[in-house]
């Protein structure tokens, strides 16, 4: 094992968190802002990238951090180490309602590809890099762009899925079509491309966008029912505009009610 061999336990239902048990000298790396709590005696350290390039010198560290810029993430991650004797626990929380998915990279030939905002934390030694799309259509219209994150190594990693999570195991040649934003991640052998929605009425009036993701087996795909972009869009759509009074969802009067109440701003 090159990655630290950590134990874990996931708590909760809608708003989950994962508790990592660290033996002496074991460590875990996490995205900034995911930390929840830790036992006394755990050392916290801010590092460039994921720290997996530590033995490759300063240039290796800079390259590892530079990859994170391309995915829109921070240059830095946070590492947590158990410097004492005995076991210590550190916990990380999901960013919004959904499920935390444990990924044992040894079960997926040492590589798992995920959306850039899905990664939560991983055992020290797991590499958090970038996965370039080699297909133009996938890069231009895929919702995730040309770049996704890849988790490599032989340790445990944890990703977050919004809403309810579905795990689909595809046989060779078997195909699954998914809304581009609903993909959490997939294994290395999955063939992923973008397909146009067929039918002029579907494109103009369907309301589901012009493209969906086409994933072909063999391999495993994780799908989420509530991507963060969809959640944020619904919140913004229902937020009161211009500091006005909120009439409640489903109001029949809508904007007309504002006029009748003298709350118009023409």
Determine the Cα–Cα distance for residues 59 and 175; give it in Å rounded to an integer.
Answer: 41
Count the neighbouring beta carbons within 10 Å of the beta carbon of residue 112.
28
Q: Is residue 254 in a domain? A: no
Residues of the domain holding 174? 7-234
Residues in the chain: 266
What string of DSSP letters covers 13-48?
SSS-EEEEEE-TT-EEEE-TT-EEEE-TTEEEEEEE
pLDDT of residue 222 exceeding 90, the answer is yes
pLDDT at 251: 46
pLDDT of residue 234 exceeding 90, the answer is no
Whole-number percent of the chain with pLDDT over 90: 43
Q: How far is CA 58 from CA 44, 48, 49, 214, in A?
A: 21, 10, 12, 40
Count the neighbouring beta carbons within 10 Å of the beta carbon of residue 44.
12
Helix (H, G, I), strand (E, B) or coil at 205: helix
Region 119-133 average pLDDT: 86
pLDDT of residue 63 exceeding 70, the answer is no
What string of DSSP letters covers 234-257?
HHHHHSPSTT-----TT-SSTHHH
pLDDT of residue 139 exceeding 80, the answer is no
CB 16, CB 10: distance < 8 Å: yes
Q: Is residue 239 in a domain? A: no
Count the neighbouring beta carbons within 10 Å of the beta carbon of residue 156.
24
pLDDT of residue 105 exceeding 90, the answer is yes
- Judged on CB neighbours under 10 Å (0-12, 13-18, 19+), 243 is exposed
pLDDT at 113: 93
pLDDT of residue 258 exceeding 60, the answer is no
**Phi-psi category of residue 16: left, alpha or beta, with phi > 0 → left and psi -120 to 50 → alpha:** beta
Task: Note the pTM of the prediction, 2 decimals.
Answer: 0.77
Return the CATH number at 33: 3.60.160.10
Task: List CB contacts of 168: < 8 A, sequence separation 6 or more.
Answer: 176, 220, 221, 222, 223
Q: Is residue 150 in a domain? A: yes
pLDDT at 137: 52
pLDDT at 168: 95
Region 109-136 average pLDDT: 84
- Structural domain total, the chain: 1
End-to-end CA distance of the chain: 67
Q: How confident is the model at residue 195 (pLDDT cuts 50, 70, 90)?
A: confident
Q: Is residue 132 in a domain? A: yes
Determine the Cα–Cα distance for residues 6 and 153; give it in Å rounded to an integer.
Answer: 14
Determine the Cα–Cα distance for residues 94 and 228; give it in Å rounded to an integer.
Answer: 12
pLDDT at 175: 94
17-54 pLDDT, tens digit per residue, is 999 999 999 999 998 889 999 999 999 998 876 666 55
Q: Is residue 261 in a domain? A: no
Q: How confident is the model at residue 198 (pLDDT cuts 50, 70, 90)?
A: low
Residue 91, token pair as written in the block: 């916990």
Task: List CB contacts of 53: < 8 A, sequence separation 6 or more.
Answer: 60, 61, 63, 64
Residue 175, token pair as written in the block: 């195909």
Determine the Cα–Cα distance for residues 43 and 84; give it in Å rounded to an integer.
Answer: 9
The whole-chain average pLDDT of the chain stands at 78
Determine the Cα–Cα distance for residues 228 and 143; give it in Å rounded to an integer.
Answer: 12
């Amino acid at each position: 094992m090159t990655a630290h061999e950590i134990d874990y336990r996931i708590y909760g239902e809608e708003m989950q968190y994962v508790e990592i048990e660290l033996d002496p000298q074991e460590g875990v790396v996490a995205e900034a802002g995911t930390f929840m709590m830790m036992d006394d005696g755990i050392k916290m350290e801010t590092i460039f990238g994921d720290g997996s390039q530590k033995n490759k010198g300063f240039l290796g560290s800079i390259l590892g951090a530079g990859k994170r810029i391309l995915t829109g993430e921070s240059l830095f991650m946070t590492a947590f180490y158990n410097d004492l004797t005995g076991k210590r626990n550190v916990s990380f929380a999901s960013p919004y309602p959904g499920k935390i998915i444990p990924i044992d990279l040894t079960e997926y030939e040492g590589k798992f590809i995920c959306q850039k905002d899905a990664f939560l934390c991983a055992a020290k030694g797991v590499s958090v890099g970038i996965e370039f799309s080699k297909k133009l259509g996938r890069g231009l219209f895929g919702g995730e762009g040309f770049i996704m994150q890849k988790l490599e190594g032989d340790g445990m990693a944890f990703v977050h899925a919004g809403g309810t999570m579905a795990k689909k195991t595809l046989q060779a040649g078997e195909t699954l079509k998914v809304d581009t934003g609903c993909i959490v991640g997939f294994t290395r052998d999955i063939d992923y491309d973008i397909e146009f929605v067929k039918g002029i009425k579907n494109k103009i009036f369907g309301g589901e966008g012009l493209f969906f993701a086409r994933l072909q087996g063999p391999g495993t795909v994780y799908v989420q029912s509530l991507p963060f972009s969809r959640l944020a869009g619904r919140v913004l759509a229902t937020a009161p505009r211009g500091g006005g009074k909120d009439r409640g969802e489903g109001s029949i009067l809508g904007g007309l009610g504002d006029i009748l109440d003298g709350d118009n701003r023409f």
